[in-house]
Each structure stands twice: as C-alpha cells, then as structure tokens.
Amino acid sequence: MKPFYKIALSIAASVALASCHKYEALDFHVDQPATFAAQQEIDAYEGLKTYVDRNANPKFKLGAGISLQQYLSKGVMYRLANSNFDEITLGYEMKHGAVVQADGNLSLTNVKTLLETATKAGISVFGHTLAWHANQNATYLNGLIAPVVIPSTGGPTWDLVTAADFETDNAANYQYNANAIAGFTAAGEGAKGVGRALKITNQSVRTNDWDTQLFLKFSPAVKLGEKYELKIDVRSDAPASFGTQAHVTAGAYKFYDFFGTISSTPTWTTYTKEVTISTEMITSGAIAFNLGKTATTYYFDNISLKKYNPLGGVTIIEKTAEEKKTLLSAALEKWIKEMVTASKDHVKSWDVVNEPMDDGKPAELKTGVGRTNLAADEFYWQDYLGKDYALKAFQWARQYGNPTDIHFINDYNLEYSLDKCKGLIAYVKYLEDKGAKIDGIGTQMHIVATSDKAKIEEMFKLLAATGKLIKISELDMGFEGKLQTAQISPQQYAEQAEMYKYVVKKYFELIPAAQRYGITIWAPQDSPASSSWRGGEPIGLWTEGFVRKPAYVGVAEGLKNK
C-alpha cells in the first residue's frame, strides 16, 4: 500500500471513531452590550401613532414638522412620517416668503404637489401660516408702500425737508426739553389707528408756555422769502392750544411766531400751515412747540416740513397711513384668498395668525416699530393695519376656505411666560368680540429638558379654560445652555425622554378630550449643526441618522396616557 492510501485510511478511521461519541456543547456565553439591549427595547416600539387611543380621541392628530422636499423625495423621512404620524406641517414652504413672488403673484406648484402626495398617503397637512411677521416677502410689501418718486417736468414742487412718523427710535430730527416727559404710544394708537405716535406729557401748568417744549430740527436754515409748509397730526387728552417759535437751533430762540398757534383735542386732527420766511425768522433751523400752558398729554404723528421749489425737481410723495393700510389690506387678502383657495381640497386646518403677542409687553401686539435691525424677511402687518389685522385674517380665511375649516391662533413661550399666555387669550376674546371665529389656540413649546413643570401645567389649565381646541403646535426639546449633541450624556437623554413623556401625558390629563386637536413634533430628527433652527442641538426623537432615541419612548409612553 502506498503511503498516500495509508494516510487516507488513518483519517477515515479517526472520523469513524469520533462519530461514536455524543456531541456536547461548550459552555460559552457573552453578555449583550447594555447599549445594544437598550436600543433593542426602543426599536421594539411600534409606530408612534399606534399608541393614540382613537376611541377616546377620535379627532386627535399626531403631527410632524417636515420640509417639502423631505416629503416629496419619498425617502426615509417620507416613510418615517407616514408610519408614525397622522399629519405634517411644512416648516417654511407654505409661508408668504416662500410663495409670494416679486410681482405679488403666488407660486404654488410645489405646494399643490405636496398636498396631493400627502393625501394619497393618507396624511393630512396643517396649513402654516397665513398672517405672520417673519418669513414674509418684505421686499414686495415694502415696495407697495414706498413713496412715489416723480421726476421733474419743469414745474414748481414742494420738496420734503424733514419728516417724522415716530415708527422708529431715530430721533435725529427732534428733541424735547427737561419738563417734557416723552414716550411712544402702543402700535395701532397713532393717527387713524395706525402705527405709533410720539407722546409728550406736561404734568403741570408752567409759568411760561416755553417751559415745556418739543423741537423739530431741520437743515439748511430758512432764508428770507422762502415758503415752507408744516403738516402735523395732533391730539391731546384735554383741549389745548400751543404756539410755535422759530429757533436757530433747538433751544436758541429766534422769533416768537413761526407756524402759528395749533389747537388740539382728544380727537386726532391734521394741522397744516404755510408761511413765507420773514426777516425775523431767517437763519432758523428748528421749530419749537410750546406745551407748558396746559397740563395734559399731547400726541404727535406724521410731522412733515416741505419747502416750495419754484423751479421744480424730483418730487417724493409719501403715502399716507390710510393709503398704506388700503394697499396692505388688499395684499393680505390676495395672499390669504389665493393660498387658501388653492389648498382647500386638502387642507382643513390652518394656523391663521402666528406669534402676535409681544414678549416684553405680553398684553400688547408684537411690533417692528423702533427696531433698526429687522431681518430682510420681517414685515409687521399690525404696524400698518392696526390691532384688527388678525380679525381680517380670520375673516378672509373663513370666507375663502371651507366652512368647516379649523382655524388656530398660535404663539410661543406660553409655558415660559404665563402673562403672555393670558395676553394671547385676551386677544382671542378681543377678536371674537369684533366678529372673528377662532376654533383653537396653538402653543409651540420649544422647551428644554429642565423646563418648569408647574408653569407647563398652569399653561394647559389656562388654555383648557378657554373651551377652544388646543394644539401643541411645535413641540421640540433641547437642553439648557443650547448643549450640542456630542455633549449629551445618557442620563441627560433619559431626562429628555422623561420630559417628553411628562408634556404629552399632561396634555391628555389637563386638556379635555373634546378640546384635543393634537400634538406636532416640530423636529423629528436632531438638528444638524448647519441648521438655522436650534443648530446642532439633540432636539428630536431620532438622531440625524434616523436612529430612535430614548425621547421616542418618552413620547410613546406619554401617548399611551396610562
């Protein structure tokens, strides 16, 4: 036998011998990593919307904030939204700034495609938003109310020298003396109920009328024979009359009479006076209004000083407050009409008025008046249309939409500032007393894991007491100090999950079933570092890579409401 065959027989014999022994498993065990086991528990949860008790909450909608392209691409976010939520809200693409073009027409092709896609998937779309101050095509809106510039045709003109409408804090062309207590009215309390006015209080009757003075400054100084026109809207808490003096500069007296004596009453009136400059007035560069003889509060608005130009020149015609109001009312109606009409087959609920209340003065409306750092897309409708801008928005949304559409007013920080919550509720009552029909109130709740739970509960109680539908419209949650994702510990993620659970459970506990419209998770995913919204913060229920977080469990357990 050759050596090769001997080897083969030896192997075969060994195999045969081994086959006679019973197999015994080795005792070998490796513990599953704790993080892996924890993730398995999270991933074992069903889609979020399956945890809603539909019998107890037949109209409740669990929503998600999402971008148009995220949904239309039909990628992971599309599937995630459809499997976990009942409703989506577009973060930007249904807003004025995204839709209204430079000529005022609306570009709605993408919006219509989104609405049709969502409807086919069985997902409703919440309309966001119709009347807001941010994300507006402010360039177009400001253009509507810009002055009319008329080139010279050779004829005489009245050229503007200086003007003040007190809509900003720029006081370069006016000042007042020590006895004049100065401030501004609230927005909407200016002449004709638009914008704001300058408020000067003279607390007591003075020895001399010039002891309390307001000055309008201008340059260059007047010259002999020139013609000027002063125009001013004025009123006072008590009837009064006051003279005007010519000053070389503010406080440097020149002549006792400049533009006559002005009368004022508690009703706004417009005073207009044309003068020809005399020898006594020359070199003057300020008008003094002498307010010392009547103890009252005076209000000034829309001051303009114009100079007659017999040779003509470029004419700049400022639109009046009433003209601006008319133009912007038409623009707001057009926007609401066309957006609501185009969406009405698919959108049955709207955020009609968004973020109306001021943070510093929570009983008043937010305003752009006095701000010098407005963003390029900021435009405050209320500064031109007055307090009833929201009334018109609700009326137009009702007129052009479906009769059964659900209309919300929405604001943020209501759980942080209970005074703001009360201010919003009071504004709702004001609007309804004027004829608006408001179905619901939305609270945004951009909170942190350590937000004040007592205030959250009190907010829910205040909102529930209105009898309105209540919606948590934009729920997301970061950490104090804007901590970034890489900084968060497992313990902090657990705190975040607990707070999500708490908020959701308290909503079901404190909002009666008939008033529960729903909850919208504003940021399903953690925010990328490049995002303009809470950039780099771990605010979502999923990571940027679509991995479920403990926060997912918090929301699911809150929805169980047990």
Instruction: Write out pLDDT tens, residues 47-106.
Output: 999 999 999 999 999 999 999 999 999 999 999 999 999 999 999 999 999 999 999 999
> In the structure encoding, which two tokens stand for residue 562, read together?
């047990």
The pLDDT value recorded for residue 17 is: 38
Which of 53-57, 201-205, 308-312 shows the lowest mean pLDDT across its residues? 308-312
What's the pLDDT tens digit per position in 469-517?
A: 999 999 999 999 999 999 999 999 999 999 999 999 999 999 999 999 9
Residue 19's pLDDT band, with cuts at 50, 70 and 90, is: very low
Over pLDDT 90: what percentage of the chain?
A: 89
pLDDT of residue 18: 39
Of 31-35, 112-116, 184-188, where does mean pLDDT reach its minimum?
A: 31-35
pLDDT of the residue at 36: 78
The predicted structure's pLDDT at residue 312: 77
**Res 414: pLDDT:** 98
450 backbone φψ class: left, alpha, beta (φ>0; ψ -120 to 50): alpha
Q: Say if residue 11's pLDDT is above 50.
A: no
CA distances (Å), origin 368, targets 131, 146, 414, 473:
15, 17, 21, 24
Q: Which is more confidently placed, 137 or 561?
A: 137
Query: In what helix (H) or strand (E) does residue 423 lie, and over which residues does it extend?
Result: helix 418-433
pLDDT band at 8 (very low <50, low <70, confident <90, very high): very low
pLDDT at position 21 = 46
Do the Cβ atoms of 388 and 356 come closer than 8 Å?
Answer: no
Contacts 24+ apart (CB under 8 A), 48-57: 48/84, 48/85, 48/541, 48/552, 48/555, 48/556, 48/559, 49/84, 49/85, 49/86, 51/556, 51/559, 51/560, 52/559, 53/561, 56/513, 56/561, 57/508, 57/513, 57/516
Query: Where does the pLDDT of residue 14 fall: very low under 50, low under 70, confident under 90, or very high at 90 and above?
Result: very low
pLDDT score for 419: 98
The predicted model gives 436-456 an average pLDDT of: 98
Binned at pLDDT 50, 70 and 90, residue 9 comes out as: very low
pLDDT at 87: 98
pLDDT score of 12:
40
Residue 58's nearest CA partner among 435, 537, 514, 539 is 514
pLDDT band per the 50, 70, 90 thresholds, residue 211: very high
Is residue 384's pLDDT more than 60? yes
pLDDT for 3 equals: 40
> Is pTM beyond 0.85 here?
no
pLDDT at 372 over 90: no
User: What is 92-146+319-408's CATH number, 3.20.20.80, 2.60.120.200, 3.30.530.20, 3.40.190.10?
Assistant: 3.20.20.80
| pLDDT number for residue 33 | 65
CA distance 452 to 456: 6
> What is the overall mean pLDDT for the chain?
93
For 234, the token pair is: 């004025």
- Among 1.20.1260.10, 2.60.120.260, 3.40.640.10, 3.30.70.100, what is the CATH number of 150-318? 2.60.120.260
- 194: pLDDT strictly greater than 80: yes
Q: Give residue 141's pLDDT.
A: 98
Residue 31, C-beta contacts closer than 8 angstroms, at least 6 positions apart: none
| pLDDT reported for residue 412 | 98
CB 516 within 8 A of CB 464: no
The ranges assigned to domains in the chain are 30-88+445-562, 92-146+319-408, 150-318
- pLDDT (0 to 100) of residue 154: 72
Which residue is associated with the tokens 């638009």? 194
What does the DSSP 8-state code read for residue 281?
T
298-307, 309-318, 423-432, 549-558: range with lowest mean pLDDT: 309-318
pLDDT of residue 283: 96
Give residue 89's identity as a one-letter amino acid code.
T
pLDDT band at 157; cut points 50, 70, 90: confident
